[in-house]
Structure 1
């Protein structure tokens, strides 16, 4: 399995690429992948510091794709900003991240870590306690995620 993340300077550049180049590029890659899923998320806010789509200093990326109950979107967004982000920002090894939103109450939390070991410490020591404080189970209808090892040869 591969996770591919792309970051666009603006929606206009994304729309231009989709209108002018996407179909030609997709046709040239036919048969090279199975079961592709694509989602477009709009930037809501940064996690820790100003987000840069630079992967050269990251060893792993944690991605969480959340489907939030419609009546809990405001709460989910608030606790992401007030509970989860400060906890991640205060964790050794957490470099930066981004919180994005898609139509249909879908959210993406992407965080970059300097090592899998540092991310593992954060996960073990804090996730359960923070989840209770944030009332995650009440907010989230479904969550899918992964910890992805960054392949430097794949970064552009």
Structure 2
């Protein structure tokens, strides 16, 4: 599965939200698996959208045919758009499905990992982080993906911001030390996203 992560700074919130609903047109697209998103909790003008496709071939075909027509509805409503594509490597918890209806927030972490540490980082994700996240109250589902150049994405869906916050306070520092995360990671960015139900396709 291909994961698409879009971040942008919104300059016309109402126009952007109206345009976001037009993406319902994705539903007939071959290989499309689901899409959702919402607003950053850290910066009120930043929107995140997560899209899922069966394969790169289906995604490329959509980009060549229908994308620009659907995107036209949001023209002029945002700036500073960043688009990243990742290949799904494994689930956090089990049976990841690109569904957004049973979660309130998404935590997204984007890591650039030192080349010689990529294998260790991936292993620690499976052995340390995944079991801890999967066992945390309120964690619904998640995935781990990668892209060329030592880039990794960890996406986790939570029932509430409070439950994710408790996990962060109680466990992250301890897990980070156990997984030697500081030695693996060259750079990390992330956000917590309040999901908007009207953006779900």
Q: What TM-score results when the alignment is normalised by the length of structure 2?
A: 0.75
1:95-106 matched pairs, under 5 angstroms: 95-106=140-151
Asked if 1:54 corresponds to 2:99, the answer is yes
Matched residues in 1 for 2:48 and 2:68: separation? 20
Taking the aligned partners of 1:75 and 1:126, their CA distance within structure 2 comes to 20
1:42 equivalent to 2:105? Answer no
Out of 146, 155, 162, the residue aligned to residue 117 of structure 1 is: 162
Cα distance per residue 1:1-21 (max 9 Å; x no partner): 100000012222101101212
Q: Distance in 2 between matches of 1:9 and 1:70?
A: 27
Q: What is the match of residue 83 of structure 1?
A: 128
Q: Which residue of 2 aligns with 1:134?
A: 179
Are residues 1:92 and 2:137 paired? yes
Q: Which residue of 2 aligns with 1:69?
A: 114
- How far residue 32 of structure 1 moved from its aligned partner, in angstroms, is 1.7
Q: Name the one with the larger strand percent.
A: 2
Task: Output the CA distance in 2 between the equivalents of 1:64 and 1:26.
Answer: 26
Distance 1:28 1:148, change over 3 A: closer
Whole-angstrom distance in 1 between the partners of 2:163 and 2:90: 23
How far did 1:144 drift? 0.4
- Distance in structure 1 (CA, Å) of the matches to 2:160 and 2:69: 37
Classify the secondary structure of the residue corresponding to 1:46: strand
| 1:149 alignment counterpart | 194
1:31 is the counterpart of 2:76: yes
Q: What CA distance in whole angstroms lies between the structure 1 residues aligned with 2:69 and 2:166?
A: 44
Residue correspondences, number: 156
List alignment gaps of at least 5 residues for structure 1. Answer: none
Query: Per-residue displacement from partner, 1:69-115 (whole Å, max 9, x unpaired)?
Result: 11110000000011000000010110100100011110000000011
Structure 2 segments unaligned to the other structure (5+ residues): 1-45
